A = this chain, B = another copy of it.
Amino acid sequence: MGKITEILRDSSNDIWERILKHPFVVELFRGSLPPEKFRFYVIQDYNYLVTLTRCQAMIASKLEEPTVIRRILELALADVSTELENYNKLLNTLGLSLNDVIRARPAPTSTAYMNFLLTTCALGGPYEGLVAILPCYWTYLEIARYHEKELANNPVGIYRDWASVYLSPEYEGIVMDLRRIIDDTSDHLMHDISRLTSIFRQASIYEFMFWDMAYRMEQWAI
C-alpha cells in the first residue's frame, strides 16, 4: 500500500499536469509574464496568506500530538511573520503599499478558494484540513522544480527572486514535513481515503483556477 500523500498526488495528476503548464506559470518562469498580471497575482496573495494562517491555526487547535501541533504552529507563525515580511518587501519592489493590498477586493476565484479552505478546516477534522492546504505548498515545489532550468535565462529579477524561494531546502523541508505528518497517520486515515482524495482534488483545482484568475486578471461580474 502506498503512502496517503502519494495516493492523493496520483489521483490529481491530470490537474497537476495542467498547473505545471499553465501560461501564467510558464511565462513567469521564462520572464515573459506581463508585469500587471504578476502584480494582480501578488495583490490577491495577501488575503490568501492570512487565510492560510487562520486555517493552520484551526488545524493546530484540533490536533492531539504536541510535536505535530508545534510544527503546524511554526508554519502558521512563519506565514504572519517571515512570509508577511518578505511579502511586504515584494510589494515595495512592485511600488505597492500594504494599504493598496488590504483595500483590494479578493477576486471571485480567490474568495471561493479561501472559503473552501476555511470551511474544510472549520468543519472537518485536522487531517482533512492538512490535506486541503497540501496542494498549495506541494504544487509550488513541483512548479519550481519543473521550470528550474528556465530561470537561468529569466531576464526579470523580481520573477527570479520570487521563484528561488520555492527551490530552497527550507521550502522543500516544509512540504516534506506536511507530507510526513499526513503519511504518519496513514493507517488511521485510509478508511477515509475517498473523502480526502476529493478534498485534495478540489484544492488542486482551485490552485489551477488561482493561476488562471491571475492570468485573466479576473473581476467580479457584479
The B-contacting residues of A in range 20-76, CB under 8 angstroms, are: 50, 53-55, 57-58, 60-62, 66-67, 69-70, 73-74, 76
Say which one of A77-85, A89-97, A142-150, A160-168 lies at the interface with B.
A77-85
Is A111 in the interface zone, CB < 8 Å from B?
Answer: yes
Closest to A73 in B: B77
Residue A172 CB within 8 A of the other chain: no
- List 30 interface pairs A-B (beta carbons < 8 Å), by A numbering: A18-B222, A50-B69, A53-B66, A53-B69, A53-B73, A57-B58, A58-B58, A58-B61, A61-B61, A61-B121, A61-B123, A66-B80, A66-B84, A69-B80, A70-B77, A70-B81, A73-B73, A73-B76, A73-B80, A74-B77, A112-B112, A112-B116, A115-B116, A118-B119, A118-B122, A188-B191, A191-B191, A208-B222, A209-B221, A212-B221
